[in-house]
């Protein structure tokens, strides 16, 4: 081998070594890039998984909240229905029960006093008209102030009206019940539903 061949071979070896180094560096960089890409992919997958878990938890919480609201609404509807049935039963009992003379006299006196007029007309349920006439007849002073007793469609009690019809006191059981309901409903509700929450 001569000098030129040696130089050529040395250059060739050098170039081959440099090429091997470049290839090795390129392979190392590719491996690092692949590793980096794998880590990024794993990180993205983990982030996606966390996002999906978070969204699933949020969805589950939303569904639970909606179910809770729906259950409370159903409970409120059931309680309202039960209270309505109790009130309807009270109205039914009132409509089937004749008023006693003392109660009618007391209601008439109370309404007359509240009107503050000299002469009045009284309206009562058909079934109570005779009882009302007898009751009023026991109080001469009140009897002189009541000009007329008329039938009226109500569950009980009475209405006292000025003769000109401009003023009236509704002392019927229905009107009194409507005034009383807002006051007693919380207590009735508590009694009915104290074990249910």
Q: Residue ranges of the domains in the chain?
A: 1-96, 99-192
Alpha helices, DSSP H, located in 97-161: 101-115, 129-137, 140-145
36: three-class secondary structure by DSSP: helix
Tell me the per-residue pLDDT of 17-62, one tens digit each, with 9 for 90 and over.
888 888 888 888 888 888 888 899 989 988 889 998 999 999 999 9
Question: What's the length of the chain?
Answer: 197
Least Cα distance to 108 among 144, 147, 135 occurs for 135
> Under CATH, what is the fold of the domain 99-192?
hypothetical protein PF0899 fold (3.30.2320)
pLDDT of residue 197: 55
Residue 184 has pLDDT above 80, yes or no: yes
Give residue for tokens 């009140």.
Answer: 142
The tokens describing 44, both together, are 């993205």
Strand, coil or helix: 124? strand
**Confidence (pLDDT) at 19:** 80
If you average pLDDT over every residue of the chain, what do you get? Answer: 88
Predicted structure pTM score: 0.61
What is the model's pLDDT at position 196? 64
pLDDT of residue 112: 94
pLDDT at position 87 over 80: yes
What are the φ/ψ torsions at residue 169 (nearest 5 degrees)? -115, 120
Q: In whole angstroms, what is the distance from residue 173 CA to residue 25 CA? A: 101
Helix pair 3-96, 173-193: axis angle to 10 deg: 130
β-strand partners of 162: 120
């Amino acid at each position: 081998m001569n000098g030129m061949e040696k130089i050529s071979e040395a250059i060739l070896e050098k170039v081959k070594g440099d090429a091997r180094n470049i290839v090795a560096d390129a392979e190392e960089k590719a491996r690092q890039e692949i590793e980096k890409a794998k880590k990024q992919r794993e990180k993205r997958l983990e982030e996606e998984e966390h996002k999906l878990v978070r969204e699933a938890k949020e969805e589950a919480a939303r569904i639970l909240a909606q179910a809770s609201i729906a259950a409370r609404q159903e409970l409120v509807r059931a309680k309202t229905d039960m209270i309505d049935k109790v009130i309807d039963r009270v109205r039914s009992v009132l409509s089937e029960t004749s008023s006693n003379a003392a109660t009618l006299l007391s209601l008439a006196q109370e309404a007359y006093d509240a009107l503050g007029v000299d002469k009045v007309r009284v309206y009562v349920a058909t079934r109570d008209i005779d009882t009302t006439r007898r009751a009023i007849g026991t109080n001469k002073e009140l009897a002189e102030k009541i000009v007329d007793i008329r039938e009226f469609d109500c569950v009980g009690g009475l209405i006292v009206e000025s003769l000109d019809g401009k003023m009236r006191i509704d002392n019927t059981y229905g009107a009194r019940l409507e005034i009383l309901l807002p006051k007693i409903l919380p207590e009735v509700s508590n009694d009915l539903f104290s074990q249910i929450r």
